[in-house]
Amino acid sequence: MADGGTSRRVVVTGMGAVTPIGHSVADFWEAMRQGRCGVAPIERFYQNDPHFLTAKQIENFDLGVPIAAQIKAFDYRARLKHFKRDKLILFADRYSLFAAAAASEAIAQAGLSVPFAEPRRAACIIGSAEAGIINLEIAYRHIFELKQPSTHPLTLVRFIGSSAAAHVGIEYGVRGPTFAACGSCASGAHAIGLGRDLIRHGVVDVAIVGAGESPHTYGTMRAWQATGLLSPDGIFPFATKGNGTVLGEGAGILVLEAIHHAKARGAKILAELCGIGSTSDGTDMLAPDLTSAAEAMRLALEDAQLASCDIDYINAHGTGIASNDRVETAAIKRTFGAHAGELAVSSTKSMYGHPLGAGSAIEAVVCVKAIEEGWVPPTLGLEQVCSACDLDYTPNIGRPRALTYAMSNSFSFSGLNAALVFGPSPG
């Protein structure tokens, strides 16, 4: 196409979410309205393995950070009982189960007939930072500690990073591009961006995009603990008491469509995906770079053909790691200038923890709902703001506000940045 595909507008027609505070978009949104927090002491690790750790055994190990935001009472058999084409989904890794449940919700809302009538005109891109780490850890325990001659025969397809995308693609009959995206904590945003580009350039008409994550294993907790980035107290973005992040889990999925495809089948359009910006720090694996974070936001605005003053709300990356929160604040001020003081900002991770690669996908759902409902979710635990963080972070209580355009920031470990801009339904 002469214009590089930019005239092919991309819209959101379905959303799904599984989080520590709600197992569907409706329950998740209601929990945020109530200001509910899913951070709690770790009750168990969810490896389905009789040789693995029980809650009582966990107490006997040196787990210096004993809290997380875990999804509890998730009945995956009930949520996925209608799956017919994918024969292995009930044996999948936990992160894939979350992604499959969220995808099912999103596709049902979109009203798409399944299996897809034009399977090669559909794509499925589901990201993750750690993918099937649960089953990988189980396999290593069997091999190296228990000295067993083999692991479970499904170990490979459980832990590979493309497994969630493959499961969802099989169930819904996707025959177009189907793969994973790994951009650490920006994985979901990168998956959304890749799906958008495939639609823009006419490769597909529909894309199932997002991310899933379930990182809570003993080994993962110890590895993250070694970085010094986890808080033993809770996740408090932009607050003076912020002393680290809290690992969460879950999934967020969007159904993206070319606008002509959505209108032709009479779909309800929830929002438009207007712009995407992506950068790499190229400097340090752990310390964030202000310039690259600001550039991701600037590129997203440029891609959306919007001025900085058009943005009403920013869902911040806001992990509760003090240095990162300060850099994000400075990057917002650099990008938005005088308008930064007019923005509503919040970190919804304060309610469901940091679900790594799934965070940016869940927060895309938050942005679409915020525009739809005209309500800005809060940043919990923000009694006293860090001196270097001087924006309106919507402390503790959400509030009504008419929103036209919202931005979602994802500034991940390893210096990979993404910003998404969502706007109202074009009608």
Contacts of 290 (CB under 8 A, 6+ apart): 327, 330, 331, 334
Inter-residue contact 9 to 272 (CB < 8 Å): yes
Provide the CB-side half-sphere exposure for 35 (13 A, CA).
Answer: 12
Tell me the residue type at 134: I
d(CA 174, CA 193): 18
185 is catalytic: yes
Tell me the residue type at 210: G
Which tokens sit at 50? 């009789």
202: left (phi over 0), alpha (psi -120 to 50) or beta: left
Contacts of 226 (CB under 8 A, 6+ apart): none
Question: Comparing C-alpha atoms, which of 81, 79, 128, 85 is closest to residue 101?
Answer: 79
What are the CA-CA distances from residue 416 to residues 118, 220, 333, 422 (Å)?
Answer: 34, 21, 20, 20
37 is catalytic: no
Inter-residue contact 255 to 106 (CB < 8 Å): yes
Rg (CA), the chain: 20
φ, ψ of residue 275 to 5 degrees: the values are: -155, 150
Inter-residue contact 267 to 13 (CB < 8 Å): yes
Q: Which of 37, 124, 185, 386 is catalytic?
A: 185
Which tokens sit at 358? 């799934």
Cα torsion angle, 336, 339, 340, 344, sign: negative
Q: Which of 167, 354, 367, 389 is catalytic?
A: 354
How many CB atoms are located within 10 Å of the residue 82 CB?
A: 9
φ, ψ of residue 368 to 5 degrees: the values are: -65, -45
Inter-residue contact 338 to 286 (CB < 8 Å): no
Question: Comparing C-alpha atoms, which of 177, 198, 376 is closest to residue 276?
Answer: 198
Q: Which of 317, 367, 386, 389 is catalytic?
A: 317
Question: Comparing C-alpha atoms, which of 270, 106, 90, 291 is closest to residue 188?
Answer: 106
Inter-residue contact 272 to 422 (CB < 8 Å): yes
142 is catalytic: no
d(CA 172, CA 114): 6
The residues carrying an active-site annotation are 185, 317, 354
